[in-house]
Amino acid sequence: MMNKQFHSGFTGLGIAPRLLDVVDSLNFSDPTPIQQRSIPTGIEGKDLIAIAQTGTGKTLAFGIPMIQRLAQIKGNGLVLLPTRELAIQVDEALHPFCRAVGMRTAVLIGGESVSIQRHALEKNPRIIIATPGRLLDLLEHRTVSLSETEILVLDEADRMLDMGFAPQINKILAAVPKKRQTMLFSATMPKEIVAIAQKHMEIPIRVEIAPPGTTVDKVVQEVFFIGKDAKTRLLEVILHQYPGPVLVFTRTKHGARRLARQVRLIGHAAAEIHSDRSLAQRRGALEGFKSGKFRVLVATDIAARGIDVTGIEIVINYDLPGTSEDYVHRIGRTARAGRAGRAISFATLDQRGEVKNIEHLIRGALTVRTVPTLPPGRQLPQTNRPTPPPPPQHEPKPQHRPPGSRAGRIRRPGGGRRRLKRL
């Protein structure tokens, strides 16, 4: 039954038999819409702009065509991504396909030993998977060459631009051959990406699965309007109500660190991912979350597109994101691979405008939920709190001067004073 279902899906896309066997071994039965429309175009060697929401299978949409073409032609492939986590996950996803055709990869990311990456480059990898900063650093030191790049992939292109990588991307684009295949994948289509397409791509085929701002159909989206001081108590109630894996987003790394500690005090296994964590710590947190060692993962937006975990029951926006687009990327971490999911946002009353902006982008309304009763003894913050009494004033202790002190004034027993002569 599985083979029949499998052959009815991926076989008609022009994928080589060896790669089809890998697809079959991974139990992928039918291609996602972005895979259905992108794989044939990529295999033909055409430039491609693909717009699709997160969690739709974009990695294989560019990975399978790139590996298949590199197995037939000379040259190398280059995949640029915004975050270390995403680069590692893309490498893991492509590994079984590369192994099937005897192809090596090299991952070039910050936070990892340069000597290890140089050693990987010495093995002549056919595909380089990199973040812009580290790749540009190695380019400037002439540790890596992009002169034989035949296929360039810009994955999560809008996120790379949001993170300020535009100057690095332009330098990298200047270092690769002008005659090449370029595949650009993004969740949104800002004007900066249009400019890249016009300048660096040759009559690209555009594939748009859903307009920008579209969220996964099976995500239930809710919002609680609540005081800032009551957020942790509400989070405790939600964690008790829903037993599955929970991904919590904060706006700052300090907030992520503090919240992860509070969640552990509540009694839940929690880890954190933010820019202050080393690559090994971030990888350990993510692997622990995947394996079930940690039930709660607290993250900043740096990880919003670097977490590819199937089975996340709830995404909680403990803090609303800085932009409405980031809301879409955050909640795309749940309801992946056709599953249902839930996205819950905490907002204060003065953030109603930000909620409206999110609703405008996603073209729908968030369900406003009533704040449940919080645990006994933990009340919602009061707007008219009594002013605490001032701290008690203690009279200053008398100053005791050492015997024989010459400086200052000395009080006589009769109340008179005389100034000592300085010798």
State the greatest distance between any 2 C-alpha atoms of the chain, in Å, as a whole number: 112
Strand partners, 419: 409
User: Taking a C-beta distance cutoff of 8 angstroms, is the pair 62, 34 a contact?
Assistant: no
Per-residue confidence (pLDDT) for residue 389, from 0 to 100 = 53
- 63-97 pLDDT tens trace: 999 999 999 999 999 999 998 888 998 999 999 99
Whether residues 72 and 163 fall in one domain: yes
pTM above 0.85, yes or no: no
Distance of CA 23 to the CA centre of its chain: 26
Look at residue 141 and tell me if it is in a domain. Answer: yes
Whether residues 192 and 140 fall in one domain: yes
Domain count, the chain: 2
Q: Which residues of the chain carry a pLDDT beneath 70?
A: 1-8, 54-55, 210-217, 302-308, 335-338, 375-423
User: Taking a C-beta distance cutoff of 8 angstroms, is the pair 38, 50 a contact?
Assistant: yes
- 257-299 pLDDT tens trace: 999 999 999 999 999 998 888 888 888 998 899 899 999 999 9
Q: What CATH number does residue 26 fall under?
A: 3.40.50.300
Look at residue 394 and tell me if it is in a domain. Answer: no
Rounded alpha-carbon distances, angstroms, from residue 135 to 93, 140, 145, 317, 345: 21, 9, 10, 32, 36
3-state secondary structure of 12: helix
Whether residues 203 and 250 fall in one domain: no
Rg of the chain over Cα atoms, rounded to whole angstroms, equals: 29
Look at residue 421 and tell me if it is in a domain. Answer: no
Whether residues 79 and 202 fall in one domain: yes
Look at residue 417 and tell me if it is in a domain. Answer: no
User: Taking a C-beta distance cutoff of 8 angstroms, is the pair 176, 78 a contact?
Assistant: yes
Per-residue confidence (pLDDT) for residue 214, from 0 to 100 = 64
Look at residue 415 and tell me if it is in a domain. Answer: no
Range of the domain at 191: 2-208
Look at residue 91 and tell me if it is in a domain. Answer: yes
Look at residue 398 and tell me if it is in a domain. Answer: no
